[in-house]
Amino acid sequence: MKDLQDYSGRFDPHVELQDFSKDALVRLVTAAGKLYMGLDGLWVASMRQKFGDRTAFDYDKEIWRTGTLLELRRVTEAFNIKGNDVAAVFKFLQVDPGFGVWFELEFDLRNGNYGIMTVTRCNPLLMFERNKDRDLQKMVCEEIEVPMFQVVAEYFNPDMKATALKLPPRKGEDDIACQWEFKIEPKV
Amino acid sequence: MKELKAYTGDFDPNLRLEDLSKEVLVNLLREYARLGLLLEAQLNSLISQKFGVEAATDINLKARLVVEPIEMKTIKEILGIPGNDVVSMIKTMQWIPDGPLNGDIFQLHYDIKNNNHVIMTVTKCKSMEYYERHGDEKGMKNLCEVLEPPIFNAICQAINPDMKMRPLKLPPRKSKDDICCQWEIKIEPKT
């Protein structure tokens, strides 16, 4: 097996992902995660121009209802992530292409039934802040992320609740982006 | 350095991509490629249902004309691919997430005439197969004739503004043994 650090050499029609070094693959995974989410941002921008904010936001919500389930199924299968506790959710969130791969996260797993996740750096939020696009920030953080984290929680355990402890806007550049509580609460 | 083959063990709050084995990273990249295309298909389908195929194509085209050059420049940079000829372009295109990176989705064959002239043949295309299976000629026409030519040209021009890609053959196919499509890629300096 080759261990290419980059692809500066001759074109090889038979070269495969496995032929690259781990370092090169890590760079590719990170770029793929960013591009994956970037495409969504561009669709929303085009939709806003053509059909207005409300229609664009409603469609993006609809897409992510399905998209989140696809991510859950495919990523947990690729990583063989099993279990129905909060640890399993955190494992998925760490490697999810649209999330853990390029966001900065802190996890405080108190036990299998309770944990807090803090997003300390969120690139989309930085963009919303830079563009002063409060409408898009509100849609993403409140209309997409709040139900999406609940979908993620319930995928692993129907008794798990995901609750936003803090959402943007931030008070300052040193503030965290958002914070979420995951808790298993058996139905009474 | 860890070499995790899967993530079946305990949750590790400090896990990094570097802790995963090459095998897992490769699987992850293939899944990312698939997820990106599924997301795009979902978007096209939703917008088409409500506003028609033309509106969906227009939205998708606008977004991809921006994202594809970014993809190409990003991948070229992170893989250190030098040059701005056609061979540099196809080396880069091999690794874009919505390209032939996942061989289950797309398979390509390249006939390199020289560094500035290549014939690219798509021998497997899951997107086209989807339209064939559903007998959706309009959807196929939109993808292959309206979307892909300008997108492929944007991909080329991200590497060299004088590079052009033109279709030699487009769907529909005569049979399942036929190729999906074929493209000539050339540097054509503006006169």
Confidence of residue A65 (pLDDT cuts 50, 70, 90): confident
Task: Count CB pairs under 8 A between chains A and B.
Answer: 171
Tell me the torsion sign for CA atoms A125, A128, A131, A132. Answer: negative
Chain-centroid distance of CA A98 in Å reads 4
Do B32 and B97 contact (CB within 8 A), yes or no? Answer: yes
Q: What is the pLDDT of residue B45?
A: 86
| Beta-carbon separation of B7 and A95 below 8 A | yes
Q: Strands B117-125, B181-187: parallel, antiparallel or unpaired by DSSP?
A: antiparallel
Q: Indicate the residue of B13, B31, B46 with minimum beta-carbon distance to A75.
A: B31
| Residue of chain A nearest B18, judged by CA positions | A26
Helix, strand, coil content of chain B in percent (nearest 5): 50, 20, 30
Tell me if B121 sits within 8 A of B50, measured CB to CB.
Answer: no
Of B26, B63, B98, the CB nearest to A18: B26
Query: Could you tell me which residues come within 8 angstroms of residue A115 by beta carbon, excluding any fewer than 6 positions away?
Result: A86, A87, A89, A90, A107, A108, A109, A181, A182
Q: Is B40 on the interface with A (CB under 8 A)?
A: yes
B10 touches chain A (CB under 8 A): yes
**Is A187's pLDDT higher than 90?**
no
List the domain boundaries for chain A. 17-184
User: Nearest 10 degrees: CA dihedral of A166, A171, A173, A177?
Assistant: 10
Please state, rounded to an integer, the average pLDDT across all residues of chain A. Answer: 91
Task: Tell me the sheet residues that pair with B110.
Answer: B120
Instruction: Write out residues in chain B with pLDDT < 50, as ranges.
Output: none
Chain B: give the shortest CA distance to residue A22, in Å. 6
- Cβ–Cβ of B32/A33 closer than 8 Å? yes
- pLDDT single digits (tens) A127-166: 999 999 999 999 999 999 999 999 999 999 999 999 999 9
Cβ–Cβ contacts within 10 Å for residue B13, how many?
Answer: 14
CB atoms A28 and B75 under 8 Å = yes
CATH of A17-184, one of 3.30.60, 3.40.50, 2.40.50, 3.30.1380: 3.30.1380
Residue B1 pLDDT = 65
Q: What is the pLDDT of residue A1?
A: 62
- Give residue A5's pLDDT: 92
Which has the closest alpha carbon to B18: A170, A74, A65, A26?
Answer: A26
Hey, is the C-beta of B109 within 8 angstroms of any chain A C-beta?
yes
| Nearest-CB residue to A22 (from B25, B43, B101) | B25
pTM, two decimals, is 0.83
- pLDDT score at B12: 87
Per-residue pLDDT at A121: 94
pLDDT digits (tens, 9 = 90+) for B62-114: 988 998 999 899 999 988 999 999 999 999 999 888 888 778 889 999 999 99
End-to-end CA distance of chain B: 55
Q: Return the axis-axis angle of helices A22-51 and A123-130, rounded to nearest 10°.
A: 40
pLDDT digits (tens, 9 = 90+) for A2-45: 799 999 988 888 888 899 999 999 998 888 888 888 888 888 99
Report H helices in chain A. 22-51, 53-79, 86-95, 123-130, 134-138, 146-156
Tell me the shortest Cα–Cα distance from B87 to chain A, in angstroms.
7
DSSP category for residue B143: I
Cβ neighbours of A154 (radius 10 Å): 14
pLDDT band at A79, cuts 50/70/90? confident
Contact B120, B183 (CB under 8 A): yes
Please state, in angstroms and as integers, the Cα–Cα distance from residue B11 to each residue in A64, A82, A115, B183, following that order: 26, 11, 12, 47
Q: Nearest by CB to A31, which of B43, B75, B87?
A: B75
Alpha-carbon distance A171 to nearest alpha carbon in chain B (angstroms): 26
**Between residues A116 and B56, the one the model is more confident about:** A116
Nearest alpha-carbon partner for B130 in B93, B57, B180 = B180
> Residue B122, exposed/middle/buried by CB under 10 A (0-12, 13-18, 19+)?
buried
CB A98 within 8 A of CB A78: no
Question: Are B62 and A46 a contacting pair, CB within 8 Å?
Answer: yes
First-to-final CA distance of chain A: 56
Nearest CB to A32; choose among B32, B46, B66: B32
With CA atoms as reference, the chain A residue closest to B110 would be A13
**Burial letters B101-116, b for 16+ CB under 10 A, else e:** bbeebbebebebeeeb
The tokens of B37 are what?
Answer: 């295309």
Instruction: Determine contact: B74 vs chain A, CB below 8 A.
Output: yes
